[in-house]
Chain A
């Protein structure tokens, strides 16, 4: 089979490994992880650009290396080529290899900061993304000296604390997906956890879902197949998303 893969760069190493093990012909395109910092529409627009280009060629399917990732996926339309997307919340779930395993760990450990090789390789956003990010839109990435100049030193702690999204975090979990390069990253993650005085976990991840995506093994319970002429809609149930025919 001849597939186009459009994926977040966070899975790059795992996906290249899966592609090597597959008989399918995969044309890859990796997109910056930082587009998650745009609003859902901005993220969708960026991915749709790549989908539209791929749609002009003759691929059997376009594979999306994304989950719900906030809600970017809702409203996505398949025109000429079927779109395949894992039914999962986000990249962390993909790296767990199972939605349920992710949720089980998640709810047992609220306030966990997840790390993986791909996450740690791609920490800094490009200036063009920073400029359009939600953080910039709402003034949450204002440099310390500007905050100080505008609101006074006496209010710095208050503002920093109020705008700290991870102030209630207490745990870091590194997801081990069996990559050769991960040892160094794992050590770095542990050091970051120590600095923050958080507990640290190494979790057994899996390439299972990514391998299935590449192999064309898409059971309905784990993947949504969006046929041409359909669009993705939100589902409140455990299936997370559904495909409905476009009405003209």
Chain B
């Protein structure tokens, strides 16, 4: 199975074509898809996150790694679903808050969460508190990640957290906030569970708070 290391490298180096080739070959040879995900792709995406935080990788590299992982996952996911295993991964809901249509950071986080083994349901942009709540209930999500680029829309994070409290489901989910104007001070004041200033650190925090991948 030595060639599988090439899958790790393809994700790390952001090469979707090779990632797909190796995944196809591995699946033909009946290699357990979980091994591809857990031992090669997640490991590669963890390294991508580390390199991004060290400014060795930049957003284009991160996006290419995400594309490589996503392309490979597109082949693997149907197999997992047919085995009825899809629900084993933790569901994360992502979205930019009401009024905000800036989604670069949110999409990076989504890609890295997927790379970290989460099942991501992206609600897109301009998401109301009611839509966040509905998505959490529908998908039995454990994690909500809200993003805002502007101080004008940032209060929507508090409105959303308050709506979760009013609905009586605040304690059932971890709620993280991020985006250029967001600070630790703000996150604490509005009752969020955490904040990080970049997508990669956000995934590490999410895993920590949910007890995922603790060694």
Contacts and interface: CB of A to CB of B under 8 A. Distances in A.
Interface in A172-198: none
A96 to B, nearest CB: 11
Contacts of A107: 98-99
Interface residues of B, number: 33
Interface in B52-75: 55, 58-61, 63-64, 67
B190 A236 contact: yes
B99 A68 contact: no
Contact of B101 (A74, A110, A159, A240): A110
A163 to B, nearest CB: 6
A11 B185 CA distance: 30
Nearest to B107: A162
Interface stretch (B114-122, B138-146, B150-158): B150-158
B78 interface: no
A165 B151 contact: no
B44 to A, nearest CB: 17
Contacts of A140: 58-60
B178 interface: no
A155 B55 CA distance: 22
A45 interface: no
**Interface residues of A, dominant DSSP:** loop
Contacts of A137: 55
B212 interface: no
Interface string A90-131: 100100000000110011001100000000000000000000
B103 interface: yes
B160 interface: no
A90 B153 CA distance: 12
Interface in B150-207: 150-152, 155, 158, 180-181, 183, 185-186, 189-190
A162 B183 contact: no
Interface of B: 14, 16, 55, 58-61, 63-64, 67, 98-104, 107, 125-126, 149-152, 155, 158, 180-181, 183, 185-186, 189-190
Q: Lowest 6 A-B CB distances belong to which pairs?
A: A139-B58, A168-B101, A111-B101, A236-B189, A138-B59, A89-B151
